Amino acid sequence: MKYLSILTLVPLVGALAVAFVPRSRPQLAKQLAMLVSLVVLGVAVATWLAFKTGAGAPRLQLQESYNWIPAWGAKFAFGVDGIALVMIALIALLVPLVILSGWHDAERSQRSVPAYFALLLALEGMMIGNFVATDVLMFYLFFELMLVPMYFLIGSFGSDVQPKQRQYAAVKFFLYSLVGGLFMLAAVIGLWVLGGHTFDWQTLTDAEFATNAQRWLFLGFFLAFAIKAPFFPFHTWLPDAGGAAPAGAAALLVGVMDKVGTFGILRYCLPLFPEASRWFAPWAIALSLVGIIYAALLAVGQNDLKRLVSYTSIAHFGFIGIGIFAFTIQAGSGSVLYMLNHGLATGLLFLVVGMFVARRGSTMIGDFGGAGKLVPVLAGVFFIAGMASLALPGLAPFVSEFLVLIGTFTVNKTVAVIATVGIILAAAYVLWMVQRTTQGTLNDKLRDIEPMKKDLSLREGVVVAPLIALLLVLGFYPKPVLDVINPAVQATLNGVVSPERSDPAPATTVEAGK
């Protein structure tokens, strides 16, 4: 089975099909989009099952290769490792939920329904393309292409409250990403020149680059990824984009698209430029560390729900960042697991915020207050999403945050201690947000708003239930995912540091019950 090419093509073809549905038949467009996204989910599950774990399993699996531009040595080459597989599963899971949650988004803003859902599917295909590519040029292509559907999702279908703000956010998002992409393009060309005129990831990984060249190439890739992720100080586009995008698109933007940045660091920066990675690691960690504290403090100070959630994500990306550059197996696996869990948790949070905003017609926290009295179940889901965001044990993000911190601590105690302050700040922004929105005296204005009286609908319940269930299951039993992630992370680290350095804590032989 050609799992990976199918996974990439199905949503792209589906997007075309949905785009050609006449505007007069919105229902057909929705159903078709949902069908396509479910097919993708099915293929993703099959891919997961076909992926081998355990000793002896190769790092890149399910490979396919097709000629593209023979003169440059560029190919359409597919293949996944455990890291990419987890991200693909996350995309395949989130997209149907986003489609369902955005069932009425386009009508509400009186825009083309088929276009909206076609854009979502196109985005899905392009995001998957990033993760399945094993050809650097193909990766670059998808990295840039995926900006286009997101640009339109923000600019044309975003928040109606401030149309100007929406345009500004879309342009800003596009320009930031484009600038990052240009740096990467330069690096990709440099890589091709120095690496023996090939774009093949495996060949390039085996190649050796001179120290200086490595550092420049690393910087080119890293800048693009740091903007995408985003790391401090390249983060300011995200609150605008996250604040203006429709909730579902925001969930995809922050939940998955930004992870291309951290994925890129793991897949390209570390294996291709190991010496440069070690050399830049202190700086990368410093940026991440500032991000954790700085963005968390900013989240505390936000008055707009969607911007607040965006800032929490920047803080979370800081954790992922230190985890990657600590170069230990615990921190590295923690980071990858964090990428998945953050997608689930923040995805849920954005979707629930979207449900509140759709009812209230405002994203301002001050326009809520005591909403729990009117919509207790929705408020409960909001609370669970918040608890996931602050990494409460029992919910998936705890495991990843714990791994990142404990893995970092073994090699750099100062960094881990400062980052641990972040878990206190996380409690502050989540609880403060929950209190101002759902607790306390009921805001009198809410009483007059008819939609505020409707609690979680069946459709919304179907959207949030799988996410909550997964957060719980992975919170109690993360091993199946760790088994997929660990070998890929170990392989990544082996290229950068020695095995003793990547697992520095003493092994214990005295175990309980023996």
Partner 1 sequence: MVATLINEQAEAVVYAPATGLLSYMWLLIAIPAVSALILLLAGKAANRWGHWLGVASVLASFVLGLTLFFQLRNLENRSVVENLYSFIPVGNLRVDFGLLFDPLAACFVLLITGVGFLIHLYATGYMAHDEGRRRFFGYFNLFIAAMLLLVLGNNYVMLYFGWEGVGLASYLLISFWYGRPAAATAGKKAFLMNRVGDAGLVLGIFLMFAWLGSTNYEVVFNNIGTLGSTTVLLIGLALLAGACGKSGQFPLQAWLPDAMEGPTPVSALIHAATMVTAGVYLIARSNPIFSENTTLQTVVVSVGAITLLLGCIIGTAKDDIKRVLAWSTVSQIGYMFLGVGLGGGAYALAIIHLLAHGFFKANMFLGAGSVMHGMNDQVDIRRFGGLYKYMRITWLTFMMGWLAIIGIPPLSGFFTKEPIIVAAFSRPGWTGWLFGLAALLGAGLTAFYMTRLFILTFHGPKRWTTAKEGLVDQHPHESPAVMTIPLILLALGSIVAGGLMVTSVPQWLEPVLGPETAEHPKIAHGALTALSLVLTVAGAGLAYALFRKGTALTPQPAGVLVTAARNNLYTDAFNEAVFEKPGNWLTRLLVFVDNKGVDGLVNGLAAAVGGGSGRLRRLQTGFVRSYALSMLVGGVLVLGAFLAVQLGWMG
Please provide residue 81's backbone torsions phi and psi, each rounded to the nearest 5 degrees.
Answer: -110, -175
- The whole-angstrom separation of Cα 231 and Cα 313 is 10
- The whole-angstrom separation of Cα 19 and Cα 256 is 23
CB of 445 to partner 1, least distance (A): 16
By CB under 8 A, which span of 48-56, 142-150, 166-174, 197-205 interacts with partner 1? 166-174
Angle between helices 163-194 and 237-244 (to 10 degrees): 130
3 state DSSP class of 90? helix
- The whole-angstrom separation of Cα 308 and Cα 430 is 9
> Of residues 90, 229, 289, 320, which one binds partner 1 by CB under 8 A?
289
By CB under 8 A, which span of 49-57, 123-131, 201-209, 230-238 interacts with partner 1? 230-238
Task: Please report, as residue ranges, which positions from 392 to 411 form the binding site for partner 1 (by CB under 8 A).
Answer: 392-394, 398-399, 402-403, 405-407, 409-411
Q: Toward partner 1, which CB reaches closer, 363 or 486?
A: 486
Please provide residue 508's backbone torsions phi and psi, each rounded to the nearest 5 degrees.
Answer: -105, 140
Task: Please report, as residue ranges, which positions from 126 to 165 form the binding site for partner 1 (by CB under 8 A).
Answer: none
CB of 373 to partner 1, least distance (A): 6
- Per-residue contact flags (x/-) with partner 1 for residues 11 to 50, judged by CB under 8 A: ----------------------------------------
Query: Using the rule CB under 8 A, is 300 a contact of partner 1?
Result: yes
Q: Reduced to 3 DSSP states, what percent helix, strand and coil does the chain have, rounded to the nearest 5?
A: 75, 5, 20
By CB under 8 A, which span of 86-94, 103-111, 293-301, 449-457 interacts with partner 1? 293-301
CB of 333 to partner 1, least distance (A): 5
Q: Toward partner 1, which CB reaches closer, 26 or 332?
A: 332
State both tokens at 280.
């830049």
C-beta of residue 344 within 8 angstroms of C-beta of residue 356: no
In the chain, the amino acid numbered 46 is A
Task: Please report, as residue ranges, which positions from 179 to 218 form the binding site for partner 1 (by CB under 8 A).
Answer: 179, 182
Task: Please report, as residue ranges, which positions from 430 to 489 form the binding site for partner 1 (by CB under 8 A).
Answer: 431-432, 435, 438-442, 476-479, 482, 486
Give the Å distances, CA to CA, from 215 to 281, 297, 397.
12, 33, 33
Q: Toward partner 1, which CB reaches closer, 39 or 440?
A: 440
C-beta of residue 252 within 8 angstroms of C-beta of residue 102: no
CB of 154 to partner 1, least distance (A): 15
Distance between terminal CA atoms of the chain? 45
Q: Toward partner 1, which CB reaches closer, 71 or 507?
A: 507
- The whole-angstrom separation of Cα 104 and Cα 87 is 27
CB of 296 to partner 1, least distance (A): 10
By CB under 8 A, which span of 2-10, 203-211, 234-242, 263-271 interacts with partner 1? 234-242
> Of residues 1, 50, 193, 417, which one binds partner 1 by CB under 8 A?
417
- The whole-angstrom separation of Cα 189 and Cα 182 is 11
- The whole-angstrom separation of Cα 174 and Cα 189 is 22
CB of 286 to partner 1, least distance (A): 4
Q: Residue 206: how many CB atoms within 10 A of its CB?
A: 12
State both tokens at 489.
């992370």
3 state DSSP class of 66? strand
CB of 497 to partner 1, least distance (A): 13
- The whole-angstrom separation of Cα 322 and Cα 420 is 12
CB of 13 to partner 1, least distance (A): 32
By CB under 8 A, which span of 28-36, 83-91, 178-186, 450-458 interacts with partner 1? 178-186
- The whole-angstrom separation of Cα 32 and Cα 116 is 12
By CB under 8 A, which span of 6-14, 296-304, 351-359, 447-455 interacts with partner 1? 296-304
Give the Å distances, CA to CA, from 415 to 162, 174, 292, 339, 488.
40, 33, 11, 20, 25
Q: Toward partner 1, which CB reaches closer, 36 or 481?
A: 481
What DSSP element (H or E) covers 345? helix 329-360
Give the angle subtended at the CA of 245 by the CAs of 473 and 337, to the nearest 5°: 25
> Of residues 191, 378, 416, 456, which one binds partner 1 by CB under 8 A?
416
CB of 15 to partner 1, least distance (A): 27
> Of residues 51, 192, 294, 327, which one binds partner 1 by CB under 8 A?
294
Q: Toward partner 1, which CB reaches closer, 76 or 140?
A: 140
Task: Please report, as residue ranges, which positions from 310 to 369 form the binding site for partner 1 (by CB under 8 A).
Answer: 328-330, 333-334
By CB under 8 A, which span of 58-66, 70-78, 353-361, 419-427 interacts with partner 1? 419-427
